[in-house]
Structure 1
Amino acid sequence: MIGLAELLAQVPAVPEAEVTLWIERRWLRAEQAPGGGWVFTEMDVARCRLLAELRITLELEEEVMPLVLSLLDQLYDARRTVKALLAALDQQPDEVRQAVLAAARRETG
């Protein structure tokens, strides 16, 4: 976990006021530290970089951000699910893996 100063050092293109706004809008999920202030995980840092890319570099409007973030979150969730399924499939006997892969090929055409 890192503090706000460390986050700003890692994502220097983003002003502190913008980070605060993103937290208020729940676009960035930070935790309140016991002594006050915000603390961030590595996932928060990655999300801050994504937000900077969307808002600052690509200049996406505030109105579209909730939709874009929702779609990206769904995509990341789907990727995590597929990764977990592939890991579980990898632990199965070869005949089970082959049967599942064949069924998947039939489903996807």
Structure 2
Amino acid sequence: MITLETLCVRIGNVPVVDVQEWIDSDWLRPEGARGHYLFREIDEARAHLIRELREDMGINDEGMPVILSLLDQLYAARRQMRRLREAISVPRENELRSRVRALLASMHD
């Protein structure tokens, strides 16, 4: 875990006030309370993403929640698909595998 100041340096010397605004806007969700935040690797990755969306792609404050929500949904769907793929690949789960394949096939209709 890293501090707010360390995070700001690691993501490209972003001002602390900017990252605090991201937290206040609920774009970042660190552990701890104001003045005592601790950031995990996933928080650092998200902060990098926010900086890139703002600086490189010109996403404004109004558009950021929409973009982040869509990305969160995409990542959640990927995690679910990975778990589903793992469940299907287990040889002893023939019945489950057949049922899931049938369900997936019916979704293409």
TM-score range, shorter chain: 0.7 to 0.9
Correspondence list, 1:17-96, <5 A? 17-32=17-32, 36-93=35-92
Quote the residue 2:9 is aligned against: 9
Choose 94-103 or 41-50, whichever is displaced more: 94-103
State the alpha-carbon separation in 1 of the partners of residues 30 and 100 from structure 2. 40
Structure 2 regions of 5+ residues with no counterpart? none
Closer, same or farther: CA 92–100 of 1 in aligned 2, 3 Å: farther
Q: CA deviation at 1:90?
A: 1.6
Could you tell me how far 1:6 is from its partner in structure 2? 2.1
Tell me the residue number matched to 2:108. Answer: 108
Which of the two has greater strand per residue? 1
**Partner letter of residue 23 of structure 1?**
I
The one-letter amino acid paired with 1:83 is R
Alpha-carbon separation, structure 1, partners of 2:65 and 2:57: 15
Matching residue's letter, 1:66? P
Which sections of structure 1, spanning at least 5 residues, go unmatched? none
Q: Quick one: distance in 1 between partners of 2:106 and 2:80?
A: 20
User: What is the total number of aligned residue pairs between the two structures?
Assistant: 108
Whether the 8 Å contact between 1:13 and 1:52 is mirrored in structure 2 is no
